[in-house]
Structure 1
Amino acid sequence: MKKFLAITLGILTAIGGFVDIGDMVANSEAGSRFGMSLAWVVLVGVLGICVYAEMAGRVAAVSGRPVFDLVRERLGPRVGLLNLAGSYLVTVLTLGAEIGGVALAVQLATSVHYLLVVPVAAFVCWVVLWRVRFETMERVFGLLGLTLVVFVVALLKLPTDWAQLWDQARTPAPAGQENWGTYAFAGVALFAAAMTPYEVFFFSSGGVEERWTTRDLNVSRANVFVGFPLGGLLSLALMATAAVVYHPLDMRLEDLGQTALPVAMALGKLGLAVAILGFFAATFGAALETGLSAGYTVAQYFGWSWGKRLRPRDAARFHVVVLVSVLLGTAALATTIDPVLLTETTLVLSAVVLPLTYLPILVVANDRQYLGEHVNGRLGNTLGVLYLGVILVVAAAAIPLTIMTGMGG
């Protein structure tokens, strides 16, 4: 059990990154519109985040410092500031979307309009960020998020034509009324969701929170290679259940209730209740993750004391940034923008800023001044450079595809 609990950081990071409010709907919408023909993007994204999260975790374990801290020191304050501006904007907007996702989950359970729940959800999120220990957060919400495995169970219970799903998966092309533009936009969004910048910042900072050293390199790798593939599996299950139920009807999904419907069809009210619990845990965990990430990046850039391992009064500026970030995210929801649309917008912005995050990580992971003998090997650099090329293509394509397709419409 102790060894299992040691990988809950990876589970929380993966579920918060792969299965947040936007991904729940985005994966389900991809399944309904394209079947399983975009499953390969999820697999590519899982491998990519594993490659770079392993670097980030190794940097934290060997140097005792988080990635963002070293990026500023290694590449200078100007590059660090550019990285900070891009990542903070995306993280705060995502934080707002996750708070909205929590409110939508409560709405599904109670029928209370989500906008009435938003202030309560934001307040509770801030209280947890302020008062609850880091290890408690990661274990409670990381493990509760595993209830989303109900989508895997539902897929097994539905009248699934496995041969047809496999045929869709090995045919990476749009079908029916879809075109290559909308297919490419959906692929960019799914890839950006898997590689969201706050994931690696949260993961490396979490390693420092847990006081990883070189003796914990195996723990770091277990977090990466168990947690992130698990998040990818849940994403594929969301996509597959929608492909089974909605794709034959040529339906398009727009809300969280439609995402949960296949589970209700397969497992009844009990299954639906478990799915809603999973939605709540995943979105609340993602809200905690993004809230902390916002505080981590700002505090680390300016050299302030930071982290949950310190008492709030000993890291006051860090906690002020977290509070302000929660307020800014809530203010975005006060415009009445749909949380799902807000998250899809942040995925486009995330795709644009991906190079600012992952190029510096690759540079730091090759610096012997920080890592000594633990710098990247040949395989790590080959995969890192290969994925950096993919990231540059995705970043260049994101805005043109958004304009050309009208946000995937």
Structure 2
Amino acid sequence: MVTNDLPVAPTLPAAHGPIRGRLILLGPAFVAAVAYVDPGNFATNSTAGARYGYLLVWVVVAANLSAMLVQTLTAKLGLATGRSLPELCREHLPRPLNRLMWAQAELVAMATDLAEVIGGAVALRLLFGVPLLPGGLIVGAAAFAVLALRARGFRTFEIAITVLLGVIVLAFAVNLLTARPDLSAAAGGLLPRTAGTDSMLLAAGILGATVMPHVIYVHSALTPNRIPTSGEAERRVVAKGLRVDVLIALGVAGAVNLAMLLVAAASFHGSGIPGTDTLEGVHAGLAGTLGTVAAVGFAVALLLSGLASTSVGTYAGEVIMQGFLRRRIPLVARRTVTLLPALAVLAVGVDPTRALVLSQVVLSFGIPFALVPVVTFTRRRDLMGSLVNRRATTVAAVAVTGLVVALNAFLLRQLLA
């Protein structure tokens, strides 16, 4: 069980003053948010903008709104039950189903690590000319330094992740102002439409890169017992603070995702610049169209994204195994196992951007396995108490889950045809 190292009083947030009392409720969603701007997002959003211009703006916006709903339910689930989603699955699901849930969650964690390590390796090559395979090893090893901050208390880890997220935000804010996208065309992109199977596949990748299954498990483990409460009134105060945490953190992540697509659309769509549907091509294209500062900012943001998100991904693996199986393995062993697929992809020379996009499609197939239990548990009054879902919330969550399942079924049919 994850706890927070903050010295808190029984009554919150009033016991700490109007400002500090609210600030101490922030943090878990920012750890989750960094996974929403991981290298997979760089690949899918940049590819979408370069290939289709502003066509898929609606997908980014819809995915982020869905993520806000999902992460709010996830945070509330941990607060109300005092347990993570994997722990609840172990307690309430039949053993064979629980084992199946664990197996797919581990595959999701590996697909996540694939995107994060590859993205970081590409960034090192763009910045310093480091070959991809050694770059992957460097990113994998560097994640331990970020994870080591947890030994100083989880608040330190949250702050470090938030700082990395802030640098990513700054880089894309500068690039967005420089690119000057067509705002009217971007607004037109809010109308839901696609341009064939390829755009649908990319839309699924955007969804998989935004509504991340592994971070659903992580977020549910960050909120139990974070702040001691005595009674339903205090629990509702903390729940409100967690909702604000989600809105701010995922609002920031959503803005970054949208900026990725808008910069690529404004800079590359219809320009005839070759290779701008790859990370390397985006970097080179930004250097040519917006200047060296924009290209370096993109690469630095990509590197920090890979480093931060792979740290969160490794922590997700711990939460998954501990929750579903009530077992732990040494961190070095877990890191090695999840790192191997990414290193294998880098070693055989698979196109990094293509591997990133496909990894996000894999993640989109893992979303229902996390969403269905979250919706099921949060609608149960015996588990949630006064924090049980309202009917409208459950309806919205079921609609999101149904949309994801329908989209994945369509894609599976297309891929097997």
Q: TM-score range by the shorter chain?
A: 0.7 to 0.9
How many angstroms apart in 1 are the aligned matches of 2:227 and 2:24? 15
How many angstroms apart in 1 are the aligned matches of 2:91 and 2:252? 33
Match of 2:160 among 140, 143, 151: 140
Q: Which moved more, 1:368-377 or 1:330-339?
A: 330-339
> 8 Å contact 2:275–2:282 — kept in the other structure?
no
Match of 2:136 among 118, 122, 125: 118
1:269 aligns with 2:292: yes
Deviation at 1:23, TM superposition (A): 1.4
Normalized against structure 2, the TM-score is what? 0.84
Deviation at 1:264, TM superposition (A): 4.2
How many angstroms apart in 2 are the aligned matches of 1:113 and 1:374? 50
Change (3 A) 1:189 1:240: same
Change (3 A) 1:233 1:191: same
Match of 1:157 among 170, 178, 187: 178
1:388 aligns with 2:388: no
Change (3 A) 1:381 1:127: same
Deviation at 1:320, TM superposition (A): 5.7
**Which amino acid in 2 is paired with 1:146?**
G
1:259 aligns with 2:277: no
**Which amino acid in 2 is paired with 1:233?**
A
Counterparts of 1:358-369 in structure 2 under 5 Å?
358-369=371-382
Deviation at 1:232, TM superposition (A): 1.4
Q: Cα RMSD between the aligned structures? A: 2.6
Match of 1:189 among 177, 181, 205: 205
How many angstroms apart in 1 are the aligned matches of 2:102 and 2:141? 25
2:365 alignment counterpart: 352
**Which amino acid in 2 is paired with 1:116?**
P
Deviation at 1:74, TM superposition (A): 1.6
1:301 aligns with 2:324: yes
> 8 Å contact 2:201–2:361 — kept in the other structure?
no
Match of 1:89 among 99, 102, 107: 107
2:193 alignment counterpart: 172
> 8 Å contact 2:276–2:282 — kept in the other structure?
yes
**Which amino acid in 2 is paired with 1:378?**
R
Match of 1:219 among 215, 236, 241: 241
How many angstroms apart in 2 are the aligned matches of 1:171 and 1:362? 25
Deviation at 1:396, TM superposition (A): 0.8
Deviation at 1:164, TM superposition (A): 3.2
Q: Which moved more, 1:191-200 or 1:135-144?
A: 135-144
How many angstroms apart in 2 are the aligned matches of 1:142 and 1:265? 31
Change (3 A) 1:338 1:183: closer
Normalized against structure 1, the TM-score is what? 0.86
How many angstroms apart in 1 are the aligned matches of 2:393 and 2:220? 17
Change (3 A) 1:296 1:324: farther
Structure 2 stretches lacking a partner, 5+ long: 1-18, 230-234
1:322 aligns with 2:328: no
SS in 2 for 1:202: helix
Deviation at 1:375, TM superposition (A): 0.8
Deviation at 1:116, TM superposition (A): 1.9
* % identical aligned pairs: 21
Deviation at 1:241, TM superposition (A): 0.9
Q: Which moved more, 1:237-246 or 1:147-156?
A: 147-156
> 8 Å contact 2:286–2:294 — kept in the other structure?
yes
1:177 alignment counterpart: none
CA deviations over 1:24-52 (Å, ceiling 9, x no partner): 02101101111111111111111212112
1:371 aligns with 2:384: yes
